Copies of this chain bind each other. A is one copy, B any other.
Amino acid sequence: MAAPALERYTQDLLLGEIWKRPDLSARDRSIVTVAAIIARNQPVELPFYLGRALDNGVKPAEISEIITHLAFYAGWPNAVAAANVASAVFAGRKIGPDQLAPASVVLLPLDKAAEDKRANMVEQDYGKVAPGVVQYTADVLFRELWLRPGLAARDRSMVTVTALVASGQVAQVPFHLNRAMDKGLAEKQAAEMLTHLAFYAGWPNVFSAMPVFKDVFAKRSAPVIGK
């Protein structure tokens, strides 16, 4: 192999140490890794990490949902490439369509108040700038995709935050990191996502995300004056 030190770091440090750190489960690490690799469009690495995800307890139907989710949050070509790889991995493990979420499902109930608040804010800001984006964000993303039951809300948010960090898009991290933490992602787990992503998306992306995470953590733990 052309880089013996890389091979040693892969075995001893990445697989041998990072994946075993306690603050994030192997299942969560698999979701984060698969999401980062799809967001960064690196299908060559995907078969290994999809297999690892299945071994770590991520269900085929959840992988299916992660891919569909990332069509919207990382772009269609990334998701289509991932779906092709996943089809081959599933076939190799005799995972049939009965184990996947069907295209149409009964959606989870909508938190109408929260969604109306979000939709109004975006409508005010951008309703006249890009009406199509605003419309599909509401109708397809928040009233459909996010309500598909095949992936827990907390995991869906973890996938979204991963995609943002892994592609260097920190502007939308506060909204989605807060959402992830509202749905059960502990601060320690969010912090450990950064450790894990330093290796899979590179140090620079993580150093750009750290001040944003810091700010979200600080605001969530600050005492609310007058309450």
Oligomeric state, in copies:
3
A136-B80 contact in complex given A3-B68, A171-B208, C-beta closer than 8 Å: no
Contact of A141 with B by CB under 8 A: yes
| Residues on B with beta carbons closer than 8 Å to the beta carbon of A6 | 67-68, 71, 79-80, 83
C-alpha spacing A105/B200, complex, angstroms: 25
Which range holds the interface residue count of chain A? 35 or more
Of residues 41 to 63 in A, which have CB atoms within 8 Å of B's CB atoms? 41-45, 60, 63
Contact of A16 with B by CB under 8 A: no
Tell me if A207 and B168 are in contact (CB < 8 A). Answer: no
Tell me if B207 and A5 are in contact (CB < 8 A). Answer: no
C-alpha spacing A9/B4, complex, angstroms: 38
Tell me if B72 and A203 are in contact (CB < 8 A). Answer: yes
C-alpha spacing A211/B105, complex, angstroms: 34
C-alpha spacing A37/B9, complex, angstroms: 22
Tell me if B202 and A73 are in contact (CB < 8 A). Answer: yes
Contact of A2 with B by CB under 8 A: yes
Tell me if B130 and A21 are in contact (CB < 8 A). Answer: no
Q: Please give the distance in Å from A166's CB to the nearest CB on chain B.
A: 8
C-alpha spacing A167/B75, complex, angstroms: 11
Contact of A178 with B by CB under 8 A: no
| Residues on B with beta carbons closer than 8 Å to the beta carbon of A207 | 133, 171-172
C-alpha spacing A137/B9, complex, angstroms: 14
| Residues on B with beta carbons closer than 8 Å to the beta carbon of A137 | 203
Q: Please give the distance in Å from A113's CB to the nearest CB on chain B.
A: 22
Of residues 94 to 130 in A, which have CB atoms within 8 Å of B's CB atoms? 97, 100-105, 125-126, 129-130
Tell me if B171 and A131 are in contact (CB < 8 A). Answer: no
CB < 8 Å: which of B77, B86, B213 contacts A3? B86
CB < 8 Å: which of B64, B68, B100, B202 contacts A72? B202
